[in-house]
Amino acid sequence: MHFQLPLIHGTLIQRYKRFLADIKLDNGSIVVAHCTNSGTMKSCLENGAEVYLSPVTDLSRKTKFTWEMILISGKWVGINTAWPNLLAFEAIKNNEIKKLSGYTFVKREVTFGDSRFDLYCENAREKCFVEVKNVTLKEGEFALFPDAVTTRGKKHLHSLIEAKKQGYRAVMLYIVQRIDVSKFGPATDIDPEYTKALQIAIISGVEVIAMQAVVSPEGIFLDQELPMFLPV
């Protein structure tokens, strides 16, 4: 995925009210950018760090910039939670994820029961629901999810289990927007109930895939699958 417009460079002053960030641009001006990430952003939040923003073309929007990425220890970390769904959609359509290749129909935002999954995929052999989660939390070599307690995340796992029971293929897809990690796992210390739900989902036949994305000011591209480790 290439950014349609050139990104704007600056430095982070502070993030506040979860969805806002003050950014100092290279020309010295200070702007307010929208932060799509509602989590704690633990391990990817550092005042004074370099950032890139995308300009907003919607004249009716109050904030004229969207915060896209931050430089942590010399590596770009993507913090825009809107992109993983699009990355997954395009990658599956283009057969770029080996375990999710071969689908002839892919649709975004499809309702199942009282849930709505990010993707529905279909071919002559099977029908598949895919839920996509953005991952930015880092601990050592591990990318971890979630970075805060997530009731919604547990509900999606339960819905994937139900979909599997009804004969669908069910996939939990994590998109890791940083390259300074080599493994993936659940953040048990942050949300032990999510880890339990994930373990039950796997036992129930829900597939888990963690894909690492390379983030740069030019674009964001899926690179490789990360091995997953569950606590014993």
Identify whether residues 30 and 134 lie together within a single domain.
no
Say if 51 falls within a structural domain.
Answer: yes
Instruction: Tell me: pLDDT of 232 over 70.
Output: no
Per-residue pLDDT tens digits for 137-179 = 999 999 999 999 999 999 999 999 999 999 999 999 999 999 9
Instruction: Specify if 232 maps to a domain.
Output: no
Is 24 among the domain residues?
A: yes
Residue 26 in this model has a pLDDT that exceeds 90: yes
119 assigned to some structural domain: yes
Instruction: Give the tens place of pLDDT for each residue, 103-142.
Output: 999 999 999 999 999 999 999 999 999 999 999 999 999 9
CATH number for the domain spanning 47: value is 2.40.50.580
Q: For the segment 187-229, what is each residue's pLDDT rounded down to a tens digit?
A: 999 999 999 999 999 999 999 999 999 999 999 999 999 999 9
Tell which of 53, 77, 101 closes a domain. Answer: 77
Q: Are residues 103 and 198 in the same domain?
A: yes
Average pLDDT over residues 14-29: 96
- Average pLDDT (64-90) is 97
End of a domain among 44, 77, 110? 77
Share of the chain above pLDDT 90, in %: 94
Q: Are residues 112 and 210 in the same domain?
A: yes
Q: Does any domain span residue 231?
A: no
Determine the structural domain holding residue 126 and report its residue range: 83-225
- DSSP per residue over the chain, as a string? -B-SS--EEEEEEEEETTTEEEEEETTS-EEEEE----S--TTS--TT-EEEEEE---TT-S--EEEEEEEETTEEEE--TTHHHHHHHHHHHTT-SGGG---SEEEEEEEETTEEEEEEEE-SS-EEEEEEEEE-EEETTEEEE-SS--HHHHHHHHHHHHHHHTT-EEEEEEEE--SS--EEEE-TTT-HHHHHHHHHHHHTT-EEEEEEEEEETTEEEEEEEPPB----
Residues 94 and 185 in one domain: yes
